[in-house]
Amino acid sequence: NPLKYYENNVGGTLNLLAAMSAKGVKTIVFSSSAAVYSPNDKDAVEETDPTVPLSPYGATKLLSEELISSVGNAERISHVSLRYFNVVGSAIPEFGDNSKDNLVPKVFLALKSGKRPEIYGSDYPTPDGTCIRDYVDVRDIARAHLAAANATTKLPDTMNIGTGRGASVREIIKLVLDATKKSDTKVIEVERRAGDPAFLCADVTLAKSAMGFESKYSLEESVRSLF
């Protein structure tokens, strides 16, 4: 539903920037996404790599970044767009991600409903045939926001927020199955989803050098935090 993404992400960003301009607000930390990047075969994606998004979601995040940069430069607004990779985990279980589109909550939901988890595509050019992603804990995301908001020097316009390490869909599902003591559950393999690159992992050098940020939560800690 591209129209909904453009209305919410781009329209919402325009409204926010207009309100900031009207009220003289001079700082913004924007939640962007690794979905802005083009597929590539690099071990880690850098902020300077090509941005040709595969999805309307990624396209609207990239356009929002450009709007923020343009208005920020024109009106001297301190701005930075944090490109999250795959967010996982929770400070407390009640705040857990209930999205039907994200892998970890989908696996939990399937198990809770007495169903088997699904793998979308098992023939990717990766070690176990499933997509590899960089999973970053939501508590680290919060820490990155604080670091950006409290920065005393000018930050780059965009920065990756991830761990710099990749995990496959099979590995993630196994972690959830082990954590829920359902290790003998068999997965279902179905067709690939359009727009899913085989590999997407963050180069986190810039966030570390610009604002001293490094992730601290492990993937195991993130999964355990959800129940």
- Residue scoring higher pLDDT (86 or 97): 86
* Element of type H or E holding 65: helix 56-75
How far apart are the C-alpha atoms of 5 and 25, rounded to whole Å? 25
Q: For 67, how many CA atoms within 13 A lie in the half-sphere containing its CB?
A: 21
Separation CA 185–CA 117 (nearest Å): 8
Q: Which residues contact 141 (CB under 8 A, 6 or more apart)?
A: 82, 84, 87, 161
pTM over 0.95: no
User: Does 5 qualify as catalytic in the annotation?
Assistant: no
Which residue reads 């999973």 in tokens? 135
Please state the rounded mean pLDDT for residues 99-106.
Answer: 81
- What would the pLDDT profile of 154-183 be if each residue is shown by its tens digit? 999 999 999 999 999 999 999 999 988 999
Active-site choice (5, 37, 57, 120): 57
- The pLDDT assigned to 193 comes to 83
- Average pLDDT (197-215) is 94
